């Protein structure tokens, strides 16, 4: 089995990374709608940004002052920088990387279940990435209540994939200190239970 970073680096080499936007754009649009509800200006980091497609999407909003992305794959970041000269991209392990300046929003799509200890990254973002009053919004397709995803680890050969229940993710957010933790399931269809979105505020 390959590590998540090895897997996604190979996706860049084969062009498979371009399918991430196609497959995840609609739920990410819903996540962005949640972020924009306050109608306030904000700075944002996309944690596990891949080739930067979601950064480019949200940076086009008039209230977005600064948008940046960080990813563990050097090739992903290289591609993001090549495509996008407007926004900033950083290579770094999410568990250890710290932004030079805290932000108002951290978003992440299809990333957090690739950590052996998701609590670690959630707590780190709360403590070291977010301004007071900031929010974390994550999207997950791989979760227990969505049975269509249960065989993904076997199919993909990725070494780490934590299959947690919705209440487990809510508990991790609350343990890190987040308040007003909400959950949503967007883009459901037939047996597909939708993208699970967890949103929490640093109050």
Write down all domains in the chain, each with its CATH number in brackets.
4-201 (3.40.50.150)
pLDDT at 13: 87
Question: For the ranges 17-26, 39-48, 132-141, 159-168, which has the lowest average pLDDT?
Answer: 17-26
Per-residue pLDDT band for 19 (boundaries 50, 70, 90) equals confident
What distance in Å separates the CA atoms of residue 153 and residue 151, rounded to the nearest whole number?
Answer: 6
Q: Could you tell me what percent of the chain has a pLDDT over 70?
A: 100
Residue 52 CB neighbour total at 10 angstroms: 27
Q: Which two tokens stand for residue 194?
A: 């939708």
Per-residue pLDDT band for 23 (boundaries 50, 70, 90) equals confident
Total-model pTM: 0.95
What distance in Å separates the CA atoms of residue 84 and residue 78, rounded to the nearest whole number?
Answer: 10
């Amino acid at each position: 089995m390959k590590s998540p970073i090895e897997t996604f680096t190979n996706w860049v080499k084969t062009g498979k990374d371009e399918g991430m936007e196609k497959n995840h754009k609609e739920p990410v649009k819903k996540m962005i709608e949640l972020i924009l509800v306050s109608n306030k200006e904000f700075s944002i980091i996309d944690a596990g940004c891949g080739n930067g497609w979601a950064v480019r999407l949200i940076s086009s909003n008039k209230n977005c002052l600064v948008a940046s992305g960080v990813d563990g794959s050097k090739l992903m970041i290289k591609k993001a920088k090549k495509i996008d000269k407007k926004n900033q991209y950083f290579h770094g392990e999410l568990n250890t990387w710290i932004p030079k300046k805290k932000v108002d929003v951290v978003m992440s799509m299809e990333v957090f279940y690739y950590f052996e200890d998701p609590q670690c990254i959630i707590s780190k973002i709360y403590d070291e990435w977010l301004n007071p009053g900031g929010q974390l919004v994550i999207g997950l397709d791989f979760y227990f209540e969505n049975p269509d995803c249960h065989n993904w680890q076997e199919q993909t050969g990725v070494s780490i994939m934590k299959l947690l229940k919705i209440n487990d993710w809510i508990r991790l957010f609350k343990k890190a200190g987040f308040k007003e933790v909400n959950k949503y399931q967007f883009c459901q269809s037939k047996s597909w239970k939708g993208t699970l979105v967890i949103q929490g505020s640093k109050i």
